[in-house]
Amino acid sequence: MADVDRRRIESAVTELLLAIGEDPGRDGLESTPQRVAEAYAEFFGGVGADPLEHLRETIPTGSPDAVGQLTGETVIVRDIAFRSVCEHHLLPFVGVAHIAYIPGDAVVGLGRLPRVVDTLASRPQVQERLTEQIAGAIDEGLAPRGVLVVLDASHQCVTTRGARQTASSTVTVASRGDLRSGSARSDVIALIGAGVQGRS
């Protein structure tokens, strides 16, 4: 968890409760400042963390350990669940990430990609930037021939306030290299979409 200042968070939450006219000492609220501090330590555990740490150990695409001795086939990991916190209202947004990359000289263990997503999502964010940061980290950490990242998320700042569009979600896309355009990009997007449609 992040090295946050829990005491300051607790004091801020107490002040917030007072500001809305509540009694922070009443039953049900007396432990709320501590609970919020613990939650914030989890929500913002990625602040200051380096997502590239998860991509340090790679497997050369031509080695026996690389299944099928990969020579440029696309790797797609769909439905990586994530949660983040919108920096505008400090309300959560939750969804799934789909990551595709065309390997260059190396691949990475599939479990590493969700860790990259979680590290970057665990900080105050906007979805558009988060999508770009995930694509950028994979591009920098693996030097692939192409990267495509799609995020599909529901934002509480949209579903629970303002317009209250409870059924809406936001889709963002970021790409690099050979997956910026062309048939390879279309094929990857179709494969991601087929997985989504198959569960609906």
Question: Is 89 annotated in some ligand binding site?
Answer: yes
- Establish whether 98 is a catalytic residue: no
- Establish whether 127 is a catalytic residue: yes
- Establish whether 157 is a catalytic residue: yes
- Establish whether 54 is a catalytic residue: no
Question: Is 181 annotated in some ligand binding site?
Answer: no
Active-site residue among 22, 38, 156, 157?
Answer: 157
- Establish whether 128 is a catalytic residue: no
Question: Is 86 annotated in some ligand binding site?
Answer: yes
Q: Contact 134/168 with Cβ under 8 angstroms?
A: no
Active-site residue among 87, 128, 140, 165?
Answer: 87
Q: Return d(Cα 21, Cα 100) in angstroms, integer.
A: 49
Active-site residue among 10, 86, 125, 132?
Answer: 86
Active-site residue among 88, 128, 140, 165?
Answer: 88
- Establish whether 165 is a catalytic residue: no
Q: Which residue ranges make up the annotated binding site?
A: 86, 89, 157
Catalytic residues: 86-89, 127, 155, 157
- Report the binding-site residues for Zn(2+): 86, 89, 157
